[in-house]
Amino acid sequence: MRKKVKFSQYATLAVIAKLLLITNMLSAQTVIEPIIAGDFADPSIIRANNQYYAVGTSSEWAPHFPIYSSKDLLNWKQTGYVFEQAPEWTSGSFWAPEYDYHDQTYFIYYTARRKKDNISCIGVATSKYPDKGFVDQGIIIDYGKEAIDAFIYLDGGTRYITFKAYGLDKRPIEILAYKLAQNGLKVEGEPFSLFKDDAHIGLEGQSILKKDSYYYLFYSAGNCCGVQCDYNVRVARSTSFAGPYEPYAANPLLMENEYWKCSGHGTFVNAADGKDYYLYHAYNKKTNVFSGRQGMLAQLSWPQKGGWPVLKEQSGPKLNQDLKITFTKPEIDKRWQWDFRNSSPTIKQQNGQLHLSGEMKNNNVTGIALTIRPVSATFEATTAVTNSTSALKGLVYYGDAGSALGIGIAGDEIVFWKVENKIKTILSTRKVPATVPVELKMKTADDLSVMVFFKQENQEWQNMPAKEKMKTNFLPQWDRSPRIGILFNGLVNQDADFSFFELKY
């Protein structure tokens, strides 16, 4: 028999239900989504042709410096890269690209290591378009042990290039500035100091705006990268571009919150709505270094005239990030990247197949990995290998050539393997008919463990167990997240053939 409930009890329950609904709504509103998910550090943004363009760090992945475009600041699509091939003078560490535009030319000032001595210098590339056709113009700043994090500021008709110096010296870090030549391709005169890190809290990733009678220098302090990072965004101001700059007593402006940590290194754009927005990066606190420093957005406001600014985090749309890449067209998907230091891949698509081959470098024991930036630490990746050779062909979760794990087929054997500290270990094997195509699956979990599976034809998925639970915590590198993708490890005259690649979160 149903128990009777008095009217007052119904009213109480209704109030509780309404309060719970409001609480859930407010809770949902506090979730901050990235606008460019996955590893997209040190972003720079520009508005052009009624669109927005953003470019970010690529570190040791090629192609170099991914470019995204958007019509509304919230929904972004990758359109290409600054460089398909590394400029001749560079050896790696492609960091902190920065947009500028004048004289009907787009400029990207960027950091890379110089091949001859491994010192980080600032180079510049130019194009008539914001997202393609960039041509390298070489080094513009070579300064001491390191020059990184370029930012361009136009003050009264004169352009200046600012950068971080002394980060590798036993002295306070400084933001220095040079006057730029009219063509934007060389500096003039001697550098001068804008701001010094006398407190030794960290100083980099600067961006400068002028408001009323003040120049505001926004910067990042703390440790940028990795699990122990403590990056945050701060501001200082001056009545002169050349300083001295007074730090804000209520710093930082952006810091750790419920969902994100280590916010930093951004630039501003004046949007179509007349408001200023700050594109920066941060780590998701749950997926952390496995999804990298993701592209985030904050709105800039000035609550009081003559007062200090406020940055308020904005949420991007909650999107389904699952993807399935098929190979029905000859064009290679722009999302693929590879470790250019340790491999030289050859990629062809024809007849619904992707053919991966190439040459391995530097005693690379892992192989050639063609990878995608994951947006989470937990995912399920699947592919199908369609050819049979002695080469290892399959799935790979790739940190670098010395830190990777995967499942593949070589001849008539399924192989679950890992490379840690540049040493390769076979975790388990299984014999299968070599003439039948094989599907492979890798599944990661919240505890950073991974499981791998295979099947042929209409079989059920079969697990490939290791002797102990396999963890992925050794994969992330200090400045970049690991990638998930497909692998070839064989002779130069061999290849690996795949019919699809699918990634679900």
Separation CA 458–CA 253 (nearest Å): 56
Q: Given this model, what pLDDT does residue 70 score? A: 98
Omega before 63 within 30 of 0, i.e. cis: yes
Active site residue 155: no
123-172 pLDDT, tens digit each: 999 999 999 999 999 999 999 999 999 999 999 999 999 999 999 999 99
Q: Given this model, what pLDDT does residue 112 score? A: 98
Separation CA 225–CA 205 (nearest Å): 13
Nearest in space to 84 (alpha carbons), one of 350, 354, 361, 340: 340
Q: How far is CA 301 from CA 44, 136, 208, 360, 431, in A?
A: 19, 36, 15, 51, 63
pLDDT-derived band at 24 (thresholds 50, 70, 90) equals very low
- What are the DSSP calls for 64-122, one per residue? EEEEEEESSSSSEEEEEEEESS--TTEEEEEEEEEEEEETTEEEEEEEEEETTT--EEE
Structural domains of the chain, ranges and CATH numbers in brackets:
33-314 (2.115.10.20), 323-504 (2.60.120.200)
Q: What is the DSSP letter of 6?
A: -
Has residue 7 got a pLDDT over 70? no
164-186 pLDDT, tens digit each: 999 999 999 999 999 999 999 99
Q: Given this model, what pLDDT does residue 489 score? A: 98
Q: Are 215 and 238 in contact (CB under 8 A)?
A: yes
Q: Are 118 and 142 in contact (CB under 8 A)?
A: no
Separation CA 244–CA 196 (nearest Å): 9
Q: Are 111 and 120 in contact (CB under 8 A)?
A: yes
Active site residue 42: yes
Q: Given this model, what pLDDT does residue 13 score? A: 41
Q: Long-range CB contacts (< 8 A, 24+ apart) of 176-181?
A: 176/143, 177/153, 177/241, 177/242, 178/141, 180/152
Q: Are 465 and 273 in contact (CB under 8 A)?
A: no
Total-model pTM? 0.93
Q: Which is the catalytic residue, given 39, 42, 479, 497?
A: 42
Q: Given this model, what pLDDT does residue 8 score? A: 42
Residues 6+ apart with CB under 8 A from 24: none
Q: How far is CA 383 from CA 137, 369, 387, 409, 437, in A?
A: 40, 14, 13, 12, 11
Q: Which is the catalytic residue, given 149, 174, 204, 276?
A: 204
For the chain, the first-to-last Cα distance in angstroms comes to 46
Q: Are 489 and 359 in contact (CB under 8 A)?
A: no
pLDDT-derived band at 301 (thresholds 50, 70, 90) equals very high
72-84 pLDDT, tens digit each: 999 999 999 999 9
Has residue 14 got a pLDDT over 60? no
Q: Given this model, what pLDDT does residue 30 score? A: 73
Averaged pLDDT of the chain = 94
* Residue type at position 270: N
Identify the burial level of 431 via C-beta atoms within 10 angstroms of its C-beta, where 0-12 means exposed, 13-18 middle and 19 or more buried: exposed
207-229 pLDDT, tens digit each: 999 999 999 999 999 999 999 99
Has residue 22 got a pLDDT over 70? no
Separation CA 403–CA 388 (nearest Å): 26
